[in-house]
Amino acid sequence: MTANNAGWTDLAGRVAIVTGAASGIGAGIAELLAESGATVIVADRNEAGVRAQVAQLVEAGHAADAMIVDLADETAIERACSAAVERHGAPWLLVNNAGVHDRQPLLEVTVAEWERVNAVNALGPFLMIRALVPSMIARGEGGRIVNVASNVVLAPMVVGHISYAASKAALRAISQTAAFELVEHRITVNTVLPGGVDTPGARGAQGPAPAGPASSRRPPLGLSQPRDVAAAVLFFATPAARAITNQQIAVDGGFSLT
């Protein structure tokens, strides 16, 4: 790194809130942000997982704190976010990563299943933005929001994703609208679209078995790892990306080429 770009990828002294950081992609994002100097708030409903992740980060010499929150619960989100702002000040970065990705057969999806998936994957991220952005605006130094959607919004990958795809398309629309309304505050909003990432959530997803021609499509660069997705999040989070908003990066092992 030369003197000209020194600090451009450095997040020292900046607070990052990462949802779903007790597992999988979120845990990878939390680790990479912490290694880049950020104080990372590990937000998840899995309390034991949050405690373990915070302990691991602190043991590695990083700054980290816990936020136990159910992203399907509006009151819990508001309470947890105001406690975090009180403790750490306004965050520089919010990563809306938490998500549920169970599959349901297209013609059997119940309203309750649809609502559960959309509550966590779309409404939750909006509520996190609504709860945290006022403090970011009040501080007046800009900020970053990165939403983790899915490359299912570009092309279906597996069967059974009707609720999931709708929720992730909503999240992409939330990114676009928030980017438009927050640009005057120098808060950028970008989206990462993972596809085929080796995580506990992907391995344990319930639903119909892959079937039909689509199930034979494989990412030519292989299954991604959480840190592959984290690298794209880190890029959007850094001062280096200050002129980039309303953009998206797919981290999907080249799936679009299949």
Q: Which residues are catalytic?
A: 164
Taking residues 172 to 201 in sequence order and writing x for each that binds ligand NAD by CB under 6 A, - otherwise, the string is ----------------------xxxx-xxx
CB of 53 to ligand NAD, least distance (A): 9
Distance, CA of 196 to CA of 212 (rounded, Å):
18
Among 14, 16, 17, 24, binds ligand NAD (CB under 6 A): 24
Distance, CA of 252 to CA of 210 (rounded, Å):
18
- Give the CA distances from residue 81 to residues 8, 69, 134, 139, in Å, rounded to whole numbers and listed in that order: 27, 9, 11, 16
Classify 140 in phi/psi space as left (phi over 0), alpha (psi -120 to 50) or beta: left
Pick from 120, 85, 117: nearest CA to 103: 117
Classify 230 in phi/psi space as left (phi over 0), alpha (psi -120 to 50) or beta: alpha
Answer yes or no whether residue 202 interacts with ligand NAD by CB under 6 A: yes
Answer yes or no whether residue 36 interacts with ligand NAD by CB under 6 A: no
Distance, CA of 186 to CA of 137 (rounded, Å):
9
CB of 143 to ligand NAD, least distance (A): 21
Nearer Cβ to ligand NAD (5/206): 206
Nearer Cβ to ligand NAD (44/241): 44
Answer yes or no whether residue 70 interacts with ligand NAD by CB under 6 A: yes
Chain-centroid distance, C-alpha 211: 28
Among 7, 37, 46, 240, binds ligand NAD (CB under 6 A): 46
CB of 197 to ligand NAD, least distance (A): 4
Q: What is the bridge-based pairing of β-strands 143-148 and 187-194?
A: parallel
CB of 20 to ligand NAD, least distance (A): 3
Longest dimension (CA), the chain: 59
Q: Give me Rg for the CA atoms of the chain.
A: 18
CB of 80 to ligand NAD, least distance (A): 10
Nearer Cβ to ligand NAD (184/203): 203
Chain-centroid distance, C-alpha 235: 13
| Among 83-91, 94-102, 106-114, 239-247, the segment contacting ligand NAD (CB under 6 A) | 94-102
CB atoms closer than 10 angstroms to residue 112:
8
Nearer Cβ to ligand NAD (100/159): 100
Q: Note the residues at the interface with ligand NAD (CB under 6 A).
A: 20, 22-26, 44-46, 49, 69-72, 97-101, 120, 148, 150, 194-197, 199-202
